[in-house]
A = this chain, B = another copy of it.
Amino acid sequence: MTEPMFNTVAIIGLGLIGSSVARGVKARGLANHIVGYDASPGVRRRADELALCNQVFGTPEEAVEGADLVLLAVPVGATADAVNAIAPHLAEAAILTEVGSVKAAVIRQVSDKLPPGAVFVPGHPIAGTEHSGPDAGFAELFEDRWCILTPCEHSTDAAVAKVTAFWQALGSQVEIMTPEHHDIVLAITSHIPHLIAYNIVGTAADLEEVTQSEVIKFSAGGFRDFTRIAASDPVMWRDVFLNNKEAVLEVLGRFSEDLAALQRMIRWEDGKSLQDLFTRTRAIRRGIIEAHQDTDQADFGRPHSHED
């Protein structure tokens, strides 16, 4: 048995991501102790019932006391409050890390609240599901996924190496980039996909000519996949768009411009350009399957649910 990587890992926020990290740390023996906190008393109670941690504390201050790794897994908009609460209580040797979907804004919010000498490694595991809460997590969530670290002025090389090893131990590959680059990469690979999924579900709900019952019945034609994405946590996503405003607006501008071109191809019945685009997009799909970021299984034919 190898030495655990950390003595005490404190996880602030025990939702999908936090609880998955807790399960992964436990399953792989990465720490002697796992402690946790969540702002919701109901989530704290559930975390106790699920035995996610050795101890769940009633305040974030108590949870981080003496921990050598502190992982924040809260909605981006709750980061500043959480750091305010814990900053004076961080152990001297503690590494603070987090998992926010936006990096530049989070770093701005965290940095000016940290005491001098505090060590902070901003990160973002590119993994998740459309479900939320402590019951939704699982230890394998990060396997074969990527985790992006975006070092800042509070990061040390040693701490970046340690957080890298932590995510690798959870099954992920790690990539280092600047916060600004992260924010534009995620705008196209995650934020805009969620935004347009939310948008089309809203458009469908508001159409007068088509009833909600029809939208539901005939959703297997493509729409249901958007509803899955649009079932993701509303608070988390509100915070993403408020905190990655510039990159999101930039990529959204591109998306709308391209959509207007596509609309024009349809209006003018330019079949060749339509077919060219629809053929070109297949190459990226092949790349994703080859990179093991998805399977080639025919998912529209997913197993049918027969439960009542």
- For A2, list chain B residues within 8 Å (CB): none
Asked whether A258 and B184 contact (CB < 8 A) given A221-B189, A223-B193, A227-B288, the answer is no
Tell me what chain A mostly uses at the interface: helix, strand, loop, or mixed: helix
Of the listed stretches A5-13, A66-74, A298-306, name the one at the interface; the rest are far from the partner chain: A298-306
How many chain-A residues does the 8 Å CB contact rule pick out? 119
Contact residue among B181, B198, B212, B292 (Cβ-Cβ distance under 8 Å from A278): B198
Which chain B residue lies CB-closest to A195? B262
Which chain B residue lies CB-closest to A243? B269
Of the listed stretches A44-52, A84-92, A135-143, name the one at the interface; the rest are far from the partner chain: A135-143
- For A259, list chain B residues within 8 Å (CB): 195-196, 199, 252, 256
The answer on a CB contact under 8 Å between A144 and B304 is: yes
- For A293, list chain B residues within 8 Å (CB): 216-217, 219-220, 224
Asked if A197 lies at the interface with its beta carbon under 8 angstroms from chain B, I say yes
The answer on a CB contact under 8 Å between B218 and A300 is: no
Contact residue among B138, B220, B287 (Cβ-Cβ distance under 8 Å from A146): B220
For this chain, the copies found in one complex come to 2
- For A143, list chain B residues within 8 Å (CB): 304
Report the Cα distance A225→B144, complex, angstroms. Answer: 17
The answer on a CB contact under 8 Å between A262 and B215 is: no
Asked if A205 lies at the interface with its beta carbon under 8 angstroms from chain B, I say yes
Asked if A285 lies at the interface with its beta carbon under 8 angstroms from chain B, I say yes
Contact with B along A276-308 (1 / 0, CB 8 A): 011111101101110111111011111111110
The 9 sampled A-B contact pairs (Cβ below 8 Å) are: A136-B298, A140-B301, A193-B223, A195-B262, A202-B280, A203-B251, A228-B300, A239-B271, A256-B263
